[in-house]
């Protein structure tokens, strides 16, 4: 009788053990998981907030629209930024990453012809921090495309590390570069990159959408041998800065706007397509 009881007890123990060790089925695999904060749109693996304003704000200053008239994703997942005229008012576009970013490599792939820009139009691909003006001049590193109010300007690409010029009396020439390159190279898809370190910033631009790519069409570097400069804006002056450091709230941004918020001289809107963005932290 004891043998029967012991066998029964062993069998029940085994069953309980097997049941307790059974794992629940895993959740379905999601190849594109949404981040905790996906913002207004989810582009290229990141959440982005659309900038909107009911009154002119920087840069420009411009009115910025957060509607799909100015910022949207197409069927391919590409980001469209547009300058439009609405009720006799020009509207600009900007998106701000919800993720905080800092030192590392920023890769922007831009589709389409950038050589048709009116002289009032600026496309900015950059970093920014609302909370680091005094210590780091807003932690801004730039790639920009513009004719800067000169319709004859063919040097459309600009690399810069801020401050360059705000309310300071003269431009800090050493902190910006307009690479000499055939303007025709900006008629097709191009990839533009900067790597931001505490002691060095490097920029590079490539034909096509591969990084690191070939052929390279422009490059530049900026290091700590340069002179410290202050940012002067709105009656405030920052500490002297050579290479700005990121802050706790630094993010990536992309915008399309008008110099001085002024109407383009051809009275036409502008559209830019960003195919992808990638951030590679150090």
**Domain-embedded: residue 262:** yes
The confidence score (pLDDT) of residue 16 equals 32
| 52-82: burial string, b at 16+ Cβ within 10 Å, e else | bbeeebebbebbbbbeeebbebeeeebbbbb
Mean pLDDT of the chain: 89
At residue 37 the predicted structure's pLDDT band, cuts being 50, 70 and 90, is confident
The confidence score (pLDDT) of residue 34 equals 46
**Domain-embedded: residue 189:** yes
The confidence score (pLDDT) of residue 12 equals 40
pLDDT at 17 over 50: no
Average pLDDT value for residue range 33-57: 87
Average pLDDT value for residue range 21-43: 56
The confidence score (pLDDT) of residue 25 equals 38
At residue 242 the predicted structure's pLDDT band, cuts being 50, 70 and 90, is very high
Average pLDDT value for residue range 43-58: 97
Query: Residue 139 is part of a domain; what is its CATH number?
Result: 2.60.120.200
**Domain-embedded: residue 173:** yes
**Domain-embedded: residue 34:** no
**Domain-embedded: residue 27:** no
The confidence score (pLDDT) of residue 23 equals 33
- Cα separation, 108 vs 205, in Å, equals 9
pLDDT at 22 over 50: no
The confidence score (pLDDT) of residue 213 equals 78
205-220 tens-digit pLDDT? 999 999 987 899 999 9
59-99 tens-digit pLDDT? 999 999 999 999 999 999 999 999 999 999 999 999 999 99
How many structural domains comprise the chain? 1
Average pLDDT value for residue range 111-116: 92
**Domain-embedded: residue 123:** yes
The confidence score (pLDDT) of residue 139 equals 98
The confidence score (pLDDT) of residue 18 equals 32
The confidence score (pLDDT) of residue 112 equals 85
pLDDT at 100 over 90: yes
Average pLDDT value for residue range 196-209: 97
- Strands 232-233 and 46-50 turn out to be unpaired
**Domain-embedded: residue 54:** yes
138-166 tens-digit pLDDT? 999 999 999 999 999 989 999 999 999 99
**pTM > 0.85:** yes
Instruction: State the residue range of the domain holding 63.
Output: 49-281
The confidence score (pLDDT) of residue 28 equals 43
**Domain-embedded: residue 16:** no
The confidence score (pLDDT) of residue 123 equals 98
At residue 183 the predicted structure's pLDDT band, cuts being 50, 70 and 90, is confident
């Amino acid at each position: 009788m004891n043998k029967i009881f012991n066998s029964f007890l062993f069998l029940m123990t085994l069953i309980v053990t097997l049941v307790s060790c059974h794992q629940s089925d895993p959740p379905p695999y999601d190849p594109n998981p949404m981040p905790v904060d996906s913002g207004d749109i989810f582009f290229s693996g990141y959440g982005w907030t659309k900038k909107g304003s009911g009154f002119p704000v920087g840069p420009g200053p411009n009115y910025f629209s957060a509607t799909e008239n100015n910022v949207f994703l197409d069927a391919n997942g590409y980001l469209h930024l547009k300058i439009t005229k609405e009720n006799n008012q020009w509207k600009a576009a900007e998106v701000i990453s919800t993720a905080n970013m800092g030192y590392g490599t920023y890769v922007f792939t831009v589709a389409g012809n950038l050589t048709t820009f009116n002289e009032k139009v600026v496309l900015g691909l950059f970093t920014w921090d609302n909370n680091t003006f005094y210590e780091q001049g807003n932690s801004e590193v730039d790639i920009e495309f513009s004719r800067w109010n000169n319709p004859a300007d063919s040097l459309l690409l600009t690399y810069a590390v801020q401050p360059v010029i705000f309310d300071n009396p003269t431009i800090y020439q050493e902190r910006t570069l307009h690479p000499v390159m055939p303007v025709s190279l900006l008629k097709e898809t191009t990839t533009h990159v900067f790597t931001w370190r505490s002691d060095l910033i490097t920029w590079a631009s490539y034909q096509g959408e591969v990084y690191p790519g070939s052929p390279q069409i422009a490059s530049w570097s900026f290091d700590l041998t340069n002179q410290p400069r202050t940012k002067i804006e709105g009656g405030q002056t920052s500490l002297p800065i050579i290479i700005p450091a990121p802050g706790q709230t630094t993010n990536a941004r992309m915008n399309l706007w008008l110099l001085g918020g002024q109407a383009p001289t051809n009275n036409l809107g502008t559209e830019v397509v960003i195919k992808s963005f990638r951030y590679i932290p150090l």
